[in-house]
Structure 1
Amino acid sequence: MKKVNILVSFLLIIGFQACNTSNQKYQVLNQIEEMRKEVAPDKRVAIWDLQYENGTLSGETDQIEALNQILASLESEGIEVRDEVMRLPSAELGDKTRALVTISVANIRSQPKHSAELATQALLGTPLRVLKKDDSWYLVQTPDGYLSWVDQAGIQLMTEDELANWFIQSKVVFTPLSGHIWQDPSQSMMVSDLVAGNILAVEEVQSEWLEVQLPDGRKGWVQASEVMPWEQWIASREASPTNLVSTAKSMMGIPYLWGGTSIKGVDCSGFTKTIFYLNGKVIPRDASQQVNEGLEVDTDKNWDNLEVGDLLFFGEKATEEKKERVVHVGMWIGNNEFIHSRGRVRISSFDPNSPNYDEYELNRYLRTKRIINQQSDGVISVSELLTSK
């Protein structure tokens, strides 16, 4: 009987410890999840990949302050954890935690390989935040907050000081839809192609030509008529209805490209993002992010509520079983028409008598949002592009 009592006591102790361990794990995981909802609800723009097992907190995050809050909270509750979380930017990068895009359009992918899905693009001269390295690929964050991978051949790694020094150099913006940097004014050899919105540092000014420098140190010449001083370009940007429509129509026929955000190819949200960028505004990358910005002006297909420049969103309506799903976006241009990228940049109409009548998009219309002249946390001025950290 005595042996039985000892065995029962032992089992009770083991059971209590297991229960206590289980409760502690639940408590830690619950705190991790609650913090994720607060600081990283969208994994496209924030990293909060934490795990807890057997007293060890592991994973990675770029939300360092939030991680410190979790650790302090657990300590105050008497929960000891082994902290093995990787803080981003990774220590492997040293002080090279910034970068500039060095090619006309950098393809930025969902995984560190060329065969991975194209997630987004970034234009020449765009500053990036660098978080970690995987072989010849770098996980970067674009000015709109988007996280994805870029091949090292498309960027120049920099320290904060090196980037700050580039910021203060005299710069110009390339304005035509496409063009080139030449090795010399004779145009005998190309240094790089260019697209609208590319940013270059100025080395020398001649009457009809400018010598420019790319972020990786390469130099060449562009025609003075094709560029505008950065300050002048910024001052002339206005996301007005007229300007937005003019920019949008100048891109008519450009092919659809999943992940594209340049005149080399655009997806639906890449098109609206490019329209606004070339007129002075940086808006979120994806349609499902853009729909969270600005002022809602319609959900009932009352086209009289819409103004030129409003963004129309399409997808699947919410049901009792699932949430609303936004999968497409276009821009209203008036006269019952909107411009969007589907197959190519095109104009569609909600007028049944129009040759551009688009019953498909009409049937999946969800809502319209207005970004022009609206305060919105996810929209920044392009002027902040070369000053924001």
Structure 2
Amino acid sequence: MRFSIYCLVLISIFGCQPERKEDVNIQPYIEEIKNEYAPDKRVALFQVEPKEFNGTWVIKGETNLPDAAMELKERLEDNNIKYIDSLQSLPSKELDGKHNALVTISVANLRSNPKHSAELATQATLGTPVKVWKKEGGWFYIQTPDKYLAWVNSGEIFLMSDNELEEWMNRDKIIYTKTYGHAYSEKNTKERVSDLVAGNIIEVVANEPSFYKVRFPDGREAFVPKEEAEPYNQWLDGLEKNTESLVSTSKTLIGVPYLWGGTSTKGMDCSGFTKTIYFLNGVVIPRDASQQVHTGRSIDSVKSFDQLQKGDLLFFGRKATDSTAEKVVHVGMWIGNNEFIHASDRVRISSMDKDADNFDEYNLNRYLRTKRVLNQEDQALINLQRNFTFLSSN
């Protein structure tokens, strides 16, 4: 009798338990969204860390892609997955609407992490408008016109609202065209306000006979010799964007030292060099060689260099095998006569001709392919427009 009662109790306890559903893993949903919206973390932020508590998922992390966040939530809801939304959408509210900025020094060093000792990821030159996503200590997480994400020290940018940036865009500006120079405190003095590099954009306050009086984004005023700069819109209208102008620009940079992460005439890496050539000819191309290789039109992959034209980009690295993917590690630009120009130790000209004094056997052996970027329709390429209007919706 006692045994029968004991059995009935066990049945009542365990028999009434609801059937346990198979554990749900939402990581595949997150990976699908990430692969669709943010396959390259250098240009898109989608960091999601899910945690499960008693059958409910807490979605933590941050993103600057509102469509990606919405898509993830919709997929979870469509699959009847319970979740708590703790995903932070950027820009951060801490910025108080100042989620734009202008670079206010000749060359801003952008880091992979918010500290001076972090790797130099890229650079941005004076007058470059950037998107600001969040702040951490004295650093801001920003995105450049070529979509690159990095950290910049607060002293190197000037924060702006949408309206303030639009007002700046509509003001008269100059572009500095000399490789390197200075802005001075007075017309007839050598007292310097700032150094300047090619591509710097500065607001014009007054147009005087031999100088431009300019204003930096942070309010500093100075004088720039007219022979070293040009009105921005005039420069833009005068761009020829042809093969000869690309070659001419590239040769003005010969001897500039190699700098990992550099994109300015103070120092540049291989892709920073090609990016700078195209920027000074009115075209913004992706930052890294592994990104640039996906732009433009394929021209050659079998060393048929007679098919190339000046301005084409040559890519080098490790070819794909049955077990490893292709890896692009270097880029240069074709300048004709079997030669290409590239940043390697310094900006230099090398040749594919085995009989030439500057023959580059090393890069010939690791050559991968050539792409044509000039005058190509490509969503990854941005043509500069008057007053930087293309930057207002990064």
1:29 aligns with 2:27: yes
- Give distance in 2, aligned partners of 1:2 and 1:186: 103
Deviations 1:85-134 (A, max 9, x none): 11111111110100000000100011100001000000100000000101
Does the 8 Å contact 1:101/1:124 carry over to 2?
yes
Task: State which drifts further: 237-246 or 296-305.
Answer: 237-246
Residue equivalent to 2:45: 47
Distance 2:367 2:323 in 1: 19
Q: Return the alpha-carbon distance in structure 1 between the equivalents of residues 320 and 8 of structure 2.
A: 64
Structure 1 counterpart of 2:356, from 343, 349, 354: 354
Q: Deviations over 1:317-340 (max 9, x none)?
A: 111212110000000111111110
- Which amino acid in 1 is paired with 2:37? V
Matches within 5 A, 1:124-163: 124-163=126-165
In structure 2, the partner of 1:16 is 20
Q: How far apart in 1 are the matches of 2:356 and 2:50?
A: 59
Superposed displacement of residue 2, structure 1: 3.4
Q: Deviations along 1:257-280, whole A, 9 cap, x unmatched? A: 000000000100000000000011
Cα drift, residue 6 of structure 1: 5.1
In structure 2, the partner of 1:243 is: 245
Q: Considering only CA atoms, is the larger Rg found in Structure 1 or Structure 2? A: 2
Structure 1: which amino acid aligns with 2:175?
Answer: V
* Deviation of 1:74 (Å): 2.2
1:6 to 1:239, Cα distance in 2 relative to 1, 3 A: farther
Q: Is the 8 A contact 2:233 2:387 kept in 1?
A: no
> Following the alignment from structure 1 to structure 2, what is the Cα–Cα distance between the partners of residues 217 and 289?
36
Corresponding residue number in structure 2 for 1:2? 8
| 1:285 aligned partner | 287
Alpha-carbon contact 1:261-1:270 (below 8 Å) kept: yes
Contact 2:233 2:386 in 1 (8 A): no
Letter in 2 for 1:49: Q
Aligned equivalents of 2:20 and 2:195: distance in 1? 68
Q: How far apart are 1:9 and its partner, in Å?
A: 4.1
Per the normalisation by structure 2, the TM-score is: 0.94
Q: What's the CA shift for 1:8?
A: 5.1
What do residues 249-299 of structure 1 show as CA deviations (whole Å, max 9, x unaligned)?
111111100000000001000000000000110000000000000000001
Please name the residue that 1:173 is paired with: 175
| CA–CA separation in structure 2 for the residues paired with 1:350 and 1:270 | 22
For residues 61 and 45 of structure 1, the distance between their equivalents in structure 2, rounded to whole angstroms, comes to 12
Separation in structure 2 between the aligned mates of residue 219 and residue 264 of structure 1, nearest angstrom: 23
Distance in 2 between the 1:172 and 1:221 partners? 12
- How many residue pairs match? The answer is 381
- Letter of the structure 1 residue corresponding to residue 184 of structure 2: W
**Rounded Cα–Cα distance in structure 2 between residues aligned with 1:385 and 1:128:** 14
SS of residue matched to 2:108? strand
Is residue 53 of structure 2 the alignment partner of residue 59 of structure 1?
no
2:222 to 220, 227, 231: 220
SS at 1:387's partner residue? Answer: helix
Deviating more after overlay: 98-107 vs 318-327? 318-327
Give the equivalent residue in structure 2 for 1:336.
338
Identity %: 49
Work out the CA distance in 1 between the residues paired with 2:284 and 2:83: 41
1:78 CA drift (Å): 2.7
Listed one character per residue, the Cα deviations across residues 144-199 of structure 1 (whole Å, up to 9, x for unaligned) are: 00000000111000100110010111111111111111000122411011011111
- How far, CA to CA, are the matches of 1:38 and 1:278 in structure 2? 33
Q: Secondary structure at the match of 1:245?
A: helix
The one-letter code sitting in structure 2 at the alignment partner of 1:266 is M
Q: Which residue number corresponds to residue 366 of structure 1?
A: 368
What amino acid is aligned across from residue 98 of structure 2 in structure 1? K
SS in 1 for 2:281: coil
Q: TM-score of the superposition, structure 1-length normalised?
A: 0.95
- State the secondary structure of the residue aligned to 1:238: coil
- C-alpha separation in 1, matches of 2:15 and 2:305: 75
Match of 1:297 in 2: 299
Tell me, what secondary structure is at the counterpart of 1:353? Answer: coil
Checking the alignment, whether the CA contact within 8 Å between 1:143 and 1:385 is kept in structure 2 is no
- Per-residue CA deviation, residues 13-44 of structure 1 (Å, 9 max, x unaligned), is 5x714x2xx22xx2x32222111111111000
Q: Is the 8 A contact 1:106 1:122 kept in 2?
A: yes
Deviation at residue 236 of structure 1 after TM alignment: 1.5
5+ residue gaps, structure 2: 1-6
| Alignment partners' CA distance in 2, 1:288 and 1:384 | 29
Report if the CA contact (8 A) 2:236-2:386 is conserved. Answer: no
Give the aligned partner of residue 256 of structure 1: 258
> Secondary structure of the residue that 1:340 maps to in structure 2?
strand
Kept in 1, the 8 Å contact 2:146–2:284? The answer is yes
- Cα deviation for residue 382 of structure 1 reads 1.9
2:303 aligns to what SS in structure 1?
coil
Which of 199, 209, 213 pairs up with 2:201?
199
